[in-house]
Amino acid sequence: MVKETKLYEALEVDPACSDADLKKAYRKLALKYHPDKTGGASSAQFQDIGHAYDVLSDAQKRQVYDQYGEAGLSGEAGPGGMGGLSPEDLFSQFFGGGGGMGGRGGRPSGPRRGKDVAHGLKVTLEDLYKGKTSKLALQKNVICEKCEGKGGKEGAVKTCNTCHGQGYRIILRQMGPMMQQIQQPCSDCRGEGEIINAKDKCKTCNAKKVVSVRKVIEVHIDRGMKDGRKIIFNGEGDQAPGITPGDVVIVLEQREHEHFRRVDDDLYYNAKISLVTALTGGKIHIKHLDDRVLVVDILPGEVIRPNELKAVMGQGMPTERHHDFGNLYIQFEIVFPASNWTDAKELDQLRSILPPAAPLPELPKETLTEEVVLTEMDPHQKAKAERGHMGVGDDDEEGGHPGVQCAQQ
């Protein structure tokens, strides 16, 4: 006694019918309801017949269905469950495939799309400023011209009978009350779905259907493009029979620049100027990304303070649409005189010119005071003091924890 009869009803057969009866029934109904015959989209009947035959023509699936009904078949994607064929593929397989009514590969969803391949392309900030065309050599698979992607001589390529060209087989395994379905690569065709006799194999591609070629592509880097920008070459990915090649995606990776830092369309530049320039004005040179030298005028009397940021408008990066430029921001580092001032007369001169220092606050009369002097430190001591100043603390470079040392003594 079978659990359900829906699939048998779809094929208008008795649940006790033979394989030959199933085949006959499917042939008759599939031809009757095929979209090419009915002159329209795939009808519900055609789908139902296909699904019913897909299940019942497989001894194992039929066994599962008889025992558990449709519920036993669920668990895998696809219209037929259990990774079954679409009604169209089933039909073409049943009637010999290739050509005619919706041959193999005529899946309703269209051909499969290959993977996109991404490549990084290192560029300099100069490249992004001026624009550039880079040639890039890629290794890619193309359809073998000799066998036109068939893998062998005309007629030598046969669909594998064991897996009917699927390249895999469904194995059922009992897991408690449920049947677990496992896909295994077909051993007869090694998962290829087809069999080619050794002597008929294409020598050019060794039956792989594709050959690897070197292809040079020209990447146009437009002025103003940014780090991470993707440039897409449609359909330049690997070719393979029955698939639409994916894209080659070139991703720009900007190398760090020695002097400029880019943020959006603006450039940042650190300029070192001497104390005298900061106080009395002068000129600095900035070599730009197109080798122009910007002569920057620091006006006399315009005091530049340490870390002060000033802008040069319109001297940043070009914007990608070329209508505009970002700004150049200059941050100033003031270089103080390297040597100490020893001439008392000069010090007096400086004191007379520079604004007076802020006066010390008045101390209460009873305050206890002590005069101390500043000392130069040796490099080791200085490094330690700097770490402490930054809040990093001592990293025990003397070896061991001070507390531990005490305990050992």
User: Interface with Zn ion by CB under 5 A: which residues?
Assistant: 144, 146-147, 160, 162-163, 186, 188-189, 202, 204-205
H or E stretch at 262: strand 260-263
Q: What is the DSSP string of 47-73?
A: HHHHHHHHHHTSHHHHHHHHHH-GGGT
Q: Cβ closer to Zn ion: 82 or 123?
A: 82
Q: Cβ closer to Zn ion: 147 or 278?
A: 147
CB of 30 to Zn ion, least distance (A): 23
Q: Cα(307)–Cα(251) distance, rounded to whole angstroms?
A: 35
Angle at 273 (CA atoms; ends 270, 277), nearest 5 degrees: 145
Cβ atoms of residues 84 and 166 within 8 Å: no
CB of 143 to Zn ion, least distance (A): 8
Cβ atoms of residues 57 and 65 within 8 Å: no
Classify 209 in phi/psi space as left (phi over 0), alpha (psi -120 to 50) or beta: left
Residues in contact with 381: Cβ distance below 8 Å, sequence separation at least 6, in sequence order: none
Q: Report which of 64, 35, 260, 90 is spatially closest to residue 179, judged by C-alpha positions.
A: 64
Q: Cβ closer to Zn ion: 157 or 317?
A: 157
CB of 194 to Zn ion, least distance (A): 8
CB of 202 to Zn ion, least distance (A): 3
CB of 146 to Zn ion, least distance (A): 5
Scanning 81-228, the segments in alpha helix (DSSP H) are 87-94, 125-130
Q: Cβ closer to Zn ion: 180 or 204?
A: 204
CB of 193 to Zn ion, least distance (A): 6
Q: Cβ closer to Zn ion: 202 or 304?
A: 202
Q: Cβ closer to Zn ion: 204 or 307?
A: 204
Residues in contact with 103: Cβ distance below 8 Å, sequence separation at least 6, in sequence order: 92, 97
Q: What is the DSSP letter of 250?
A: E
Q: Cα(58)–Cα(3) distance, rounded to whole angstroms?
A: 17
Q: Cβ closer to Zn ion: 48 or 89?
A: 89
Classify 268 in phi/psi space as left (phi over 0), alpha (psi -120 to 50) or beta: beta
The token pair at 124 is: 């300099």
CB of 270 to Zn ion, least distance (A): 60
Q: Cβ closer to Zn ion: 189 or 279?
A: 189
Q: Cβ closer to Zn ion: 146 or 220?
A: 146
The token pair at 226 is: 């940014």
The token pair at 148 is: 């036109």
Q: Cα(228)–Cα(242) distance, rounded to whole angstroms?
A: 32
CB of 49 to Zn ion, least distance (A): 25
CB of 53 to Zn ion, least distance (A): 20
